[in-house]
Amino acid sequence: MSNDSIFKTFLVAFLLCVVCSVLVCLAAIVRIDKEAYNKQLEIRKTVLAAGGYQQLIDDGGNIDELFTANVELKLVDLATGEYTTAVDVATYDQKEAASKPESSVKIPADLDLASIGSRAKYAAIYVDKKGATILPIRGAGMWGPMYGYIAIAADGTTVNGFTFYQHAETPGLGAEVDNPNWKKQWTGKQVFKSSGALALKVVKKGKYKADAADAVNTVDGIAGSTVTGDKVHGIIRYWFGEHGFAPFLAKLKAERG
Ligand SMILES: Cc1cc2nc3c(=O)[nH]c(=O)nc-3n(C[C@H](O)[C@H](O)[C@H](O)COP(=O)(O)O)c2cc1C
């Protein structure tokens, strides 16, 4: 067949299109995979940071290796405070579960201190090899939803670390929740009193007194950002209340004596 034939011209053009389409598809797949991996890496980094592994990350530790070696993903039925295998934890998406009526529960208005309306029935938590639990928390901030993790030591009450990984607060104001100096003060705080009563709170900047009897339960707010401080307070009070992780942490404490 002659190189000038119309058939051959169309054939070459067609083959060129096929090759280009395959290349574009491959590039898109690689990009989606990379985005998914980066998202997973960010969550792992946040979980490790909240769990008290920040120094190991700063020292150049590999996030995936640290994560695999130290923490395990588990599901908690928040109503009973028990671990559950009712759904596959590996594929469980708590955000998605919270948005569907069949996998979520409505929060009574008087308990909805985080202003979220409903929550997933099951919480995907991380348990580290020292028995600490790294718990997902969320709630309304001043400008949008805030998502984070708070790590509780094996005693079920001591805070190991605290961090948000997503929020829309204002840089220099509410976004100071990301300031390492502000986050640092959470470490060592006690969520509950020895009676079991919920005690952890965020107060207006300057109201914290280091020598007060409740200093161990109190986090100082952020200057000029009382609204965000109050929102974080509400998030904490909801997630450590009876409708949140309190039944789970009470069981953990009882089991560990
Ligand atoms: C544009 C703009 C953005 C603001 N962003 C925040 C914020 O992200 N978080 C916050 O608590 N307050 C923010 N504020 C300030 C609040 O409106 C409010 O004045 C403040 O929270 C009160 O805190 P204070 O009592 O510590 O001064 C913002 C104000 C303005 C005008």
Exposure string of 194-210, with b = 16+ CB inside 10 Å and e = fewer, is eeeebbbbbbebeebee
Rounded Cα distance, 98 and 104, in Å: 5
Q: What is the mean pLDDT of residues 227-238?
A: 98
Choose one of 169, 173, 205, 208 to mutate for the ligand 1 pocket test, by most ligand atoms within 8 angstroms of C-beta.
Answer: 173
- Residue ID of nearest Cα to ligand 1 atom 24: 224
> What's the mean pLDDT in 38-59?
85
Vertex 146: Cα angle to 142 and 147 (nearest 5): 175
Ligand 1 contact, 176 CB (< 6 A): no
Tokens of 157: 């009450």
pLDDT at residue 96, rounded to an integer = 96
What is the C-alpha separation between 156 and 133, in angstroms, rounded? 8
Please indicate whether residue 160, judged by its CB atom, sits closer than 6 Å to ligand 1: no
For the cut 70, the answer to whether the pLDDT of residue 36 exceeds it is yes
pLDDT of residue 86: 95
End-to-end Cα, the chain, rounded Å? 87
Is 4's pLDDT higher than 90?
no
Is residue 257's pLDDT more than 70? no
In percent, the amount of the chain with pLDDT more than 70 equals 99
Ligand 1, residue 175: give the atom nearest the CA. Answer: 8
Residue whose CA lies nearest to ligand 1 atom number 26: 224
Provide the token pair at 114. 């985080």
Measure 178 CA to ligand 1 centroid, in angstroms: 16
Mean of pLDDT values over 168-183: 97
The reply to whether ligand 1 has any atom less than 6 angstroms from the CB of 170 is yes
Q: Which residue has the higher pLDDT, 21 or 51?
A: 21
Cβ of 207 closer than 6 Å to ligand 1, yes or no, is no
**Any ligand 1 atom below 6 A from CB of 173:** yes
Mean pLDDT of 23-51: 83
Q: How crowded is the C-beta side of 211, counted as CA atoms within 13 Å?
A: 0
Distances, alpha carbon 184 to alpha carbons 37, 55, 83, 154, 160, in Å: 28, 13, 30, 19, 10
Check if 169 has its Cβ closer than 6 Å to any atom of ligand 1: yes
Statement: residue 54 has pLDDT above 90: no
Q: How confident is the model at residue 137 (pLDDT cuts 50, 70, 90)?
A: very high
Mean pLDDT value of segment 134-146: 98
11-20, 79-88, 164-173, 243-252, range with the lowest pLDDT: 11-20
Nearest CA to ligand 1 atom 11: 225
- Looking at residue 8, what is its pLDDT? 87
